[in-house]
Structure 1
C-alpha cells in the first residue's frame, strides 16, 4: 500500500465522481477538476472531493495518483497536456477509457502510466447518480507497458482494491477486441433490436422479460456511447461481422429444420451462460399492485437471512402487479419460500 494516498481526478462525471466517493471513503485525499465547474462543485458537495481545482495543472500539481476520467475521445488530448517534468517525481497516471490501444500510444511519453478500464457503469451520466459502491466486485482491466514500474502498478492496484474491484492485467489489443464483443457489440445489437421491434406491429407492446434483458443497455446515454463506439470502431465492426456470420448459420439451421444441431447449439449457449455466475436457485413471487408488497418481501428476506445473488422485477406495463424473481444460493429456496408465504405473499412454483 502506498505511504501517501492522494489523488487527482480529472473529469467529475459518473465514473470520476464514483471513483472519488469510493477513495474518499477509503481515506484518500482527493482533488477534483472538470472543465464544467458545476460538475466539480456538485461532486464536492456530495463529499467526493476534499477540494476542487480551477485548472488541470493545479489539480495534478502534488498528486501521487492522477486518474483521467474524461470521455475516451478526450483522454488522448488530456494525456498530451500532461508533461512529466510538471508532475510530482513519483506520480502515477491512469485512465478509465473503454478503449486502450489509442490511449497507450498517447501516453508513451509518461514514465509511469498504467491504462485502466473499470468493467462497471450505469445507464446514467453526470455526478448526480455517482456512487462509491459502483465498482464493488467488478473486474478492473489494467494495461501496463514494458516500462511500467512495480511501484506504479502497486499504486493503481491499491486504488482498484480500495474501490472493491479486482485488477486484471491484459494487453491493449486483447482488451479492445474483448470489450468490442462483450460490451460494445451489445449496445449496437440492442439499438438494432429496438429499431426492428418498433417497426413490427404490436411487438413493443408485447415485449416481456427476455426482450427487456437484451435491450437494457439501449437506455444508456447516446452521446457517451457514440464516443465509445467510434473510438473502437474497427474492433466493433469485426465483432458485428462475426455475429452476422453466426446469425446466418443459425438461420440455415432453422431453414433446414435440423432439431438435433439446434438443440446442441442452444445447450452449449446455456452451459456457457451458466458459467458466468455461481449456481443459484430461483424463487418467483407474485406481487399485487398495492402499497406494502415490497415491504413484505424485505421482511421475508430479513427473517430468512438468505444470500440474495440477484433480483429482477417484471412489472406489468398496464398495471396489475408483477413478478419478482429472487436468485439465492442452492439449498436456500425452502427457507425463503416459507418466509415469503408467512409474510402473506404468493410464491410461484
Structure 2
C-alpha cells in the first residue's frame, strides 16, 4: 500500500529525506524533519498501520512498504532493528547507488561499518536518546533535543557528506559529536550496554513475589527503569557488541568482588574511599557537560501542582530545560526536579519559589 498526499503541493520544491523503519527512533527522526517544513519525508515500513498513522499525523508526506519509493532522496536514515541494518544498507545501495547518502541510528558502529558495500556513501550515526517504549506512537519531534548524536564517518566519507549529516543533526536540535567506531563501541558498552545488563540482573535478583516489589522506591526504580526495554533488541545488541560488553562485565564483577571483600573484612575506610570516588565521578558528569542548573522542590502530591510551578516560571519568562517527577521521597528532600539552562535562570527561580514558601534545594 502506498500513502500519498492529497495534493501535489508538497512534492517537487523540497528536498526529500527517506526514513526506513518508523518505530520510536525512526518516527522521531521523521517528525523532527517534518516539523521544519523544509523537506518531503518519505517513510518506509512493512506495517501498513504504522504508515497510515505516520501519514495521518503528517510525520511523513509519502509512505510505502518497499525501498524503491526512496529513489530521488538526498539522504536516507536506516532506523530498523540492528540485526537488519546491514542488509537494508546493501539493498539501498543496489537501488540508489551513490545518488544518496545513507546513514543509520544503530547503537553499535563497528559491525555496521565493517560490512558496508564498496563505494557506498555512508555516514554512521547514533542518537543518544530514546525510550523504553517502542513504535510510532512513542515518537516525538523533540526526542533528540539537547541530546548528543554520535557521528561515525567512514575513511572514504567526503567532507561534503559529513557536513551535510552534521547539519541535519543540528536541525533535529541534537548535539553532533564525531567519534570513531572503536571508541564508540567501547564507550556505549560502558555507559549503555553494561547498565542494561546490571538492570536485568538487579531486577531478577531483587524482585520476588514478596513485599520487595511494593517497597521498591525511587532509587531502585531509577536504576532499573531500562530493564523494561525490548528483549529482542537487546539480544541483538549484546550479540553484536559481545566482546566489549564482556570486558565491562568483568570490570563490574571485579569491582563488586572488591566491595564484597571490604565489607566482609570490616574495611570501612576502603568502602568509604569507593563511595567517595563514585560520588565525585558522578558529580563530575554534569560539570564536564556544562550541564543544566537544577532545583529540587518538595511538593505535595495534589492535582495542579506541576501547572502551578510551571506557571510561576512562565510569568517570569524562565525556560525549563528539563523536569523530572520523583514518585518516591527515598533519600531525597524533594519530589520534583526542575532544570534550567544557566545560573541566572536558576537564581531567579529560587527567589520565586522562596517567596511562595516552597521547600527547595539546589542540585
Q: Deviations over 1:42-95 (max 9, x none)?
A: 112111111113411222x111101111000011111222335x3164411111
Out of 29, 44, 58, the position equivalent to 2:40 is: 29
**1:290-329 matches, cutoff 5 A:** 290-303=302-315, 305-306=317-318, 308-315=320-327, 323-328=335-340
Q: Is the 8 A contact 1:4 1:64 kept in 2?
A: no
Instruction: Determine the C-alpha separation between the residues in 1 that align with 2:350 and 2:209.
Output: 40
Task: Give the corresponding residue for 2:7.
Answer: none
Describe the SS at the equivalent of 1:147: coil
Task: Give the corresponding residue for 2:15.
Answer: 5
Q: Is the 8 A contact 1:79 1:106 kept in 2?
A: no
Q: Is the 8 A contact 1:8 1:67 kept in 2?
A: yes
Q: Is the 8 A contact 1:19 1:132 kept in 2?
A: yes
Q: CA RMSD in A?
A: 2.6
| 1:40 has 2:55 as partner | no
- Alpha carbons of 1:103 and 1:4: their partners in 2 closer, same or farther (altered >3 Å)? farther
Cα offset, 1:245, TM superposition = 0.8
| 1:282 has 2:295 as partner | yes
Alignment: residue pair count: 339
Q: Is the 8 A contact 1:287 1:346 kept in 2?
A: no
Instruction: Determine the C-alpha separation between the residues in 2 that align with 1:238 and 1:133.
Output: 34
Cα offset, 1:175, TM superposition = 1.1
Describe the SS at the equivalent of 1:311: strand
Cα offset, 1:243, TM superposition = 0.6
Task: Give the corresponding residue for 2:161.
Answer: 152
Q: Deviations over 1:274-308 (max 9, x none)?
A: 222237353322213x3222232223332455454
- Alpha carbons of 1:46 and 1:281: their partners in 2 closer, same or farther (altered >3 Å)? closer
Instruction: Determine the C-alpha separation between the residues in 2 that align with 1:195 and 1:227.
Output: 20
Q: Is the 8 A contact 1:116 1:141 kept in 2?
A: yes
- Alpha carbons of 1:305 and 1:267: their partners in 2 closer, same or farther (altered >3 Å)? farther
Cα offset, 1:309, TM superposition = 4.8
- Alpha carbons of 1:167 and 1:316: their partners in 2 closer, same or farther (altered >3 Å)? closer
Instruction: Determine the C-alpha separation between the residues in 2 that align with 1:110 and 1:9.
Output: 21
- Alpha carbons of 1:284 and 1:76: their partners in 2 closer, same or farther (altered >3 Å)? same
- The range that moved more, 292-301 or 6-15, is 292-301
- Alpha carbons of 1:347 and 1:332: their partners in 2 closer, same or farther (altered >3 Å)? farther
Q: TM-score, length-normalised on structure 1?
A: 0.88
- Alpha carbons of 1:332 and 1:101: their partners in 2 closer, same or farther (altered >3 Å)? closer
Task: Give the corresponding residue for 2:69.
Answer: 58
Out of 257, 273, 281, the position equivalent to 1:272 is: 281
Q: Which runs of 5+ in 1 are unaligned?
A: none
Q: Is the 8 A contact 1:68 1:96 kept in 2?
A: yes
**1:157-196 matches, cutoff 5 A:** 157-196=166-205
Task: Give the corresponding residue for 1:16.
Answer: 26
Cα offset, 1:18, TM superposition = 0.6
Q: Is the 8 A contact 2:350 2:360 kept in 1?
A: no
Instruction: Determine the C-alpha separation between the residues in 1 that align with 2:191 and 2:126.
Output: 14
**1:123-142 matches, cutoff 5 A:** 123-142=132-151
Q: Is the 8 A contact 1:209 1:314 kept in 2?
A: yes
Cα offset, 1:256, TM superposition = 2.6
Task: Give the corresponding residue for 1:205.
Answer: 214
Q: Is the 8 A contact 1:140 1:168 kept in 2?
A: yes
Describe the SS at the equivalent of 2:137: coil
Instruction: Determine the C-alpha separation between the residues in 1 that align with 2:50 and 2:88.
Output: 18
Instruction: Determine the C-alpha separation between the residues in 2 that align with 1:296 and 1:133.
Output: 24
- The range that moved more, 278-287 or 45-54, is 278-287
Q: Is the 8 A contact 1:62 1:88 kept in 2?
A: no
- Alpha carbons of 1:24 and 1:233: their partners in 2 closer, same or farther (altered >3 Å)? same
